[in-house]
Amino acid sequence: METLASSRRGFVNWLLGTGFGAMAVWMLYPVIRYLIPPKSGEPSVANVTVPWKPAEIKANSGRIFRFGSQPGILVKTPAGELRAFTAVCTHLNCTVQYREEKQDIWCACHNGVYDLNGKNVSGPPPRPLEPYKVYVKGDEIVVSKGA
């Protein structure tokens, strides 16, 4: 017959063993999940790859894309050159858009107009649109802030 002391000792040992065992599993699980790479692969960076191929974009057109936490505008000039600017209007921060019929960039909020160099040409905007760098790597268009 086990004495009370030895059964108590057995219980304590069991408790310790189970405790450490559970801790080991509980801590190992997150570490192993961490080591398995996530589906999205890599961080999206200050270089943004826009979700369109160069051929998809018609000349004399523009589209809005996400750059970090702000909208950007990707433009293909009538001559076929790809350019990108911030799409945040320098007047009161509305999102600008491309105007096919005037071949310029326009802000609907208060009729601000920018040319295809981003320069503010008429209406309230006080400053030009900040330009981004555009790189074409094969079928990918990469826009970066460019330091």
Partner 1 sequence: MGRLPGSWAELVKAVDAWVEERIDLTGIRDLIRHKVVPVHRHSIWYYFGGMTLFLFIIQVCTGILLLLYYRPSAEQAFESVQFIMTEVQFGWLIRSIHSWSANLMIATLMIHLFSVYFTRAYRKPRELTWISGMLLFGIALTFGFSGYLLPWNTLAYFATKVGTDVAGQVPVVGHLMTRILRGGEDVTGATLSRFYGIHVAVLPLLTTGILSLHLFLVQKQGMSVPPEIERDGRPIPTMPFVPDFLLRDLVGWLSALAVLGALAAYFPWELGVKADPFAPAPAGIRPEWYFMYMFQTLKYLPSKIGPIDGEVVGVLGFGLGGLFLFLVPFLDRKTAQGEKSPLFFWIGAGIVTYIVVLSVLGYVAPGGK
Partner 2 sequence: MRTAWLLPATFVALSVLVLAAHAGAQKLPEGNSCIDCHRGLGDPRVTPPAENFAQDIHLDKGILCQDCHGGDPTNFDPQGAMSRAKGFIGKPKHQAIPALCGKCHSHATYMKKFNPTIRVDQVQEYYTSVHGKLLRQGDQKVATCISCHSVHNIRAIKDQQAWTYPVRVVDTCGRCHGDPAYMRGYKVTTDVVENYKKSVHYEALTKKGDLSAPTCNICHGNHGASPPGVNSVANVCGTCHSLTEDLFNRSPHKKAFITMGLAGCVTCHSNHDVERPSDSMVGTGDKAVCVNCHDPKSAGYQKAAEIRASLDGLRGAVQRATAILDRAEHAGMEVSQAKFELHGASDDLLKARATVHLADPAAVEKLTSEGGQIANNTYTKGAKALEELAFRHRGLWISVGIILVTIVGLALKIKEIDRRRGEG
Tokens standing for 103? 């071949």
Is position 18 an interface residue for partner 2 (rule: CB under 8 A)?
yes
Is position 38 an interface residue for partner 1 (rule: CB under 8 A)?
yes
CB of 110 to partner 1, least distance (A): 26
Q: Strand, coil or helix: what is 134?
A: strand
- The site map against partner 1 for 59-78 (x = CB under 8 A) is ---------x----------
Contact 128, 120 (CB under 8 A): yes
Tokens standing for 96? 């600008």
Residue 26: C-alpha distances to residues 12, 19, 49 (Å) = 21, 10, 39
When the beta carbons of 7 and 44 are compared against partner 1, the nearer one is: 44
Distance CA 60, CA 83 (A): 11
Contact 31, 42 (CB under 8 A): no
When the beta carbons of 103 and 111 are compared against partner 2, the nearer one is: 111
Is position 43 an interface residue for partner 2 (rule: CB under 8 A)?
no
The residues that touch partner 2, with contacts defined as CB under 8 A, are 8-9, 12-13, 15-16, 18-20, 22-23, 26, 66, 69-71, 91-92, 94-95, 108-111, 123-124, 126
